[in-house]
Amino acid sequence: MIRLKTLQEFRGAFEELDHFLLMMGEEISAKAGKIPVHIGAVNIRKPIAPIDGTTVLDVMQRNINAVLEQRKATGKRIFPHINHPNFEWAITAEDLMQIRGDRFVEIYNGHPAVRNEGDATHVDVERMWDITLAFRLARLNLPVLYGIAVDDSHSYHSTSITKANPGRGWIMVRALRLLPDEIVTALEAGDFYASTGVRLIEITPGRESLSLKIDSAPGIDYITYFIGTRRHFNEASEPVQTTNGLAATRSYSAEIGELLAKSPGANPSYSYRGDELYVRAKVFSTKPKFNGYANNEVEVAWTQPVIPPKRVVASSPLAPAH
């Protein structure tokens, strides 16, 4: 038997004021029947016992509520986030869009078993994110769900595409100071981006456009995809039949999460048309991802969704009848 050291025992060997900070967290591992439902809890004060149930949505909500209850009881800025939605095909967009009290979902997870990319009957996690955003903003009157990238690291002594190694995904936060309250405040304001290697110098969500400044590296090319959904999108959907009997996100129109524009180079920009529900950017580089979780992975970055100001485009007056 080995007693693990507590955070208080070892944090002094790592922390350095304004340079390196440890925050206590937990992966709350609950189940809906046999389906695993995992919720991250960050900046907690004490462990949170998982709450099982019969439906995925109910289990997610109950465990999110438990995190928020600790936040209220302690007065600390503790926050939950949804872990790897496609792990064991546990979570659908229909589940995600209804969640209350959570503002974050993993859109990239570096564990080789979490199926970020989906399959023939299950959407990839970014597609799930777009469906969730469209319905939360257009129909459910719920706030934006921000996207995060994580390692989900378990293996520290050998490096392989088949192992869950550290250094695969992270978030870059624009906080005033390296303190838990400042970091969480920035996160909850959406003042961060997710990355697997691409670095952004600036993200400017202006009234007329969304612009980025990429910290470009010599010999590396960049192209940015601006992705979004327009206000009057086609809401129709159809059920998807799976071979394993598990639920799957329904099939929706390509108007949800459509590619609005592509912009090459280190200073990409997208001018709003005025009818977008939200716009987000994904930056692709040609730099191979070191120790990625999948073959042929390249370094990328994701900005958070921006809600552009609404603009009414006046129509031309009708010509007089003859």
Domain count, the chain: 1
Report if residue 312 sits inside a domain: no
Report if residue 2 sits inside a domain: no
Report if residue 265 sits inside a domain: yes
Indicate whether 311 pLDDT > 80. no
Any idea what the Cα angle at residue 294 is, between residues 291 and 299, rounded to 5°?
60
Indicate whether 285 pLDDT > 50. yes
Query: Structural domain of residue 199, as residue ranges?
Result: 84-302
Report if residue 56 sits inside a domain: no
| Amino acid (1-letter code) at residue 153 | S
> Which pLDDT value is given to residue 322?
33
The mean-pLDDT minimum among 8-17, 84-93, 261-270 falls in: 8-17
Q: Would you give the distance in Å from CA 222 to the centre of its chain?
A: 21
Report if residue 65 sits inside a domain: no
The pTM is what? 0.94
Q: Are 94 and 199 in contact (CB under 8 A)?
A: no
Tens digits of per-residue pLDDT, 194-230? 999 999 999 999 999 999 999 999 999 999 999 999 9
The mean-pLDDT minimum among 134-143, 146-155, 230-239, 304-313 falls in: 304-313
- Give the pLDDT mean for 284-292: 96
**Which two tokens mark 99?**
């969640």
Classify residue 185 by its DSSP letter.
H
> Which pLDDT value is given to residue 13?
93
Report if residue 321 sits inside a domain: no
254, burial (CB in 10 Å: exposed 0-12, middle 13-18, buried 19+):
exposed
- Give the pLDDT mean for 86-114: 97
DSSP-derived secondary structure for 258-289: EEEEEEESSS-EEE--S-EEEEEEEEEEEEEP
